[in-house]
């Protein structure tokens, strides 16, 4: 579903991404680990076609994102570090807008409410302006948007950063539900524990290069931390 082929991004002399090869299939939660500036967000931005690759290809559902920018975005959902919504609209109004932007006009008001209920947004919050939402509530609305969009691939850029453990755990559970529904998920994170708990595969990045890929089944928490730190030195 998500595929990077010799994907490279340079800014002048600086190489942000040095020929990334990556494939994430339906049902995979692929966690990208790495320090700041390792190339995790660059990879996500390239899949979103927010920036142009210098070389190589980023493909979604077999389509190159640079030549099919709109078609590929029909399959994608994006959850950034903080899901930014229109603060003067309610959660429900935001969800309705983004669902329609994704081409889904078929939802009734109760359908949309169900999405928000499903992700755990309290009933009272649905009609409140998003400006008053906590970060956890915003992330939930982000997942609701992905659900409403029926996204086949999710791109998450440190989505649990700053969330308390409970909210973080709830978010992981939602991701697993999406994974169960057959979505391919790419999540950039600093959280080794969350990556091991939630992911199916892990990639460790450093200075724009994918240093090592692991299956979460094959590695313990301690081993993962050791391997990660080895790559960071």
Distance CA 31, CA 94 (A): 28
Assess 162 for contact with another protein (CB under 8 A).
Answer: no
Assess 226 for contact with another protein (CB under 8 A).
Answer: no
Assess 11 for contact with another protein (CB under 8 A).
Answer: yes
- Report the nearest approach of another protein to the CB of residue 117 (Å): 21
Single residue of 36, 88, 108, 110 touching another protein by CB under 8 A? 88
HSE-CB for 11 with a 13 A CA cutoff = 7
Single residue of 21, 25, 55, 101 touching another protein by CB under 8 A? 101
Burial 182-205 (b: 16+ CB within 10 A, else e): ebbbbbbbebbebbbebbbbbbbb
Residue 114's closest CA among 147, 138, 82, 87? 147
Assess 7 for contact with another protein (CB under 8 A).
Answer: no
Assess 86 for contact with another protein (CB under 8 A).
Answer: yes
What tokens appear for 60 in the block? 């979604």
Single residue of 73, 140, 152, 196 touching another protein by CB under 8 A? 73
Assess 132 for contact with another protein (CB under 8 A).
Answer: no
Assess 6 for contact with another protein (CB under 8 A).
Answer: no
Distance CA 221, CA 10 (A): 34
Closer by beta carbon to another protein, 48 or else 204: 48
Assess 63 for contact with another protein (CB under 8 A).
Answer: no
Single residue of 1, 2, 32, 48 touching another protein by CB under 8 A? 48
Question: Given its phi and psi angles, is residue 195 left (phi above 0), alpha (psi -120 to 50 degrees) or beta?
Answer: alpha
Assess 112 for contact with another protein (CB under 8 A).
Answer: no
Q: Where are the beta strands (DSSP E) in the chain?
A: 2-11, 14-24, 29-34, 55-60, 63-64, 76-79, 153-157, 184-189, 201-206, 209-215
Assess 103 for contact with another protein (CB under 8 A).
Answer: yes
* Residues near another protein, by CB under 8 A: 11, 16, 41, 45, 48, 50-51, 69-71, 73-74, 76-78, 80, 82-89, 97-98, 100-103, 145, 149, 155
């Amino acid at each position: 579903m998500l595929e990077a082929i010799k994907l490279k991004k340079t800014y002048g002399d600086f190489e942000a991404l040095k020929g990334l090869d990556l494939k994430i299939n339906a049902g995979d939660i692929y966690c990208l680990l790495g320090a700041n500036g390792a190339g995790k967000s660059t990879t996500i931005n390239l899949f979103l076609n927010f920036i142009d690759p210098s070389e190589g290809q980023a493909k979604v559902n077999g389509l190159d994102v640079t030549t099919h920018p709109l078609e590929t975005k029909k399959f994608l959902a994006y959850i950034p570090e903080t899901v930014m919504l229109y603060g003067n609209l309610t959660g429900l109004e935001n969800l309705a807008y983004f669902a329609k932007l994704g081409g889904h006009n078929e939802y009734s008001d109760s359908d949309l409410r169900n999405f928000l209920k499903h992700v755990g947004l309290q009933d009272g919050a649905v009609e409140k302006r998003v400006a008053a939402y906590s970060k956890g509530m915003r992330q939930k609305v982000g997942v609701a948007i992905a659900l409403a969009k029926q996204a086949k691939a999710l791109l998450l850029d440190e989505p649990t950063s700053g969330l308390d453990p409970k909210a973080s755990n709830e978010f992981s559970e939602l991701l697993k539900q999406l994974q169960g529904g057959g979505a391919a998920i790419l999540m950039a994170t600093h959280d080794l524990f969350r990556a091991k708990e939630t992911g199916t595969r892990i990639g460790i990045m450093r200075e724009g290069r994918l240093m090592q890929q692991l299956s979460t089944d094959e590695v313990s928490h301690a081993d993962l931390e050791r391997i990660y730190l080895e790559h960071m030195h």
